Amino acid sequence: MKISLIIADDHPALIIGVKHELVEFHTISIVGTASNSREIFELLVKSPCDVLVTDYVMPGGDFGDGLITLSLLRGRYPFLKIIVFTAIDNRAMVAEMVQLGVHAVLSKVDAIDHLISAIYAVYAGATYFSPKFRSTSAVGQHAQIDPIQKLTRREMEAVRLYVSGVSINEIARQFNCSKQTISSQKAAAMRKLGIERDVELFRFAYGMGLLSEGAVQHENPIASDMLLGQG
């Protein structure tokens, strides 16, 4: 048995660390690494693999990130086993990943042993979840009472991208729709959440674990100030 693997993350140090931990497992073969969605799809064309270990938030790729990328991957490569290795800490988001057909979701705060176990589990046709997501199966009662559950999948992704610093125009490009549609989705999400100002939306998203503070990108320079309470 030889499990072929691709690792995707926009932090080079993390990729180096994961490769270092996996090198001693002779049944796992790392066929490539990627830093964004474009590189993932290019790699899958050149080097088909059994398992993809990917971050959830990887801005900059031609195919977006998050649920957009995962949905495209499931559509184009239905037999690919996908492990999401993420700093996102929100059960509703995990529930959406599971509904898309993701086979494993791990937290970056988990011990590396969980990633190794997940690789073997998904290759064998099983699922695997971080210990922090296992209670109520991460898609049960906790996800159902999460305020984020009020939002549609598109509204949730529009909010996540926006608070991560992605511009409305760029979100529209990724979703292949008009910027008016994205603005309407953002407004609808804020209305459902009872939020009136962007500063409240940023703080809500950070508090709900939709992003880490370091995830804020340069396209929206006020985001960091808002998260720090300076907005």
| Mean pLDDT of all residues belonging to the chain | 80
DSSP per-residue string spanning 89-116: --HHHHHHHHHHT--EEEETTS-HHHHH
* CB 63, CB 41: distance < 8 Å: yes
Residue 42 has pLDDT above 50, yes or no: yes
Report the C-alpha gap between 231 and 216 in whole angstroms. 14
pTM of the model: 0.65
Higher pLDDT, 158 or 146: 158
Residue 218 has pLDDT above 50, yes or no: no
Mean pLDDT of 188-204: 80
Q: Provide the β-strand partners of residue 6.
A: 32, 52
User: What pLDDT is stored for residue 80 in this prediction?
Assistant: 95
Highest mean pLDDT among 111-120, 139-148, 204-213: 111-120
Residue-wise pLDDT for 47-79, tens only, equals 989 999 999 888 776 666 788 889 889 999 999
Lookup: tokens for 90: 């929100």
Q: Which domains does the chain have, with CATH numbers?
A: 3-133 (3.40.50.2300), 147-208 (1.10.10.10)
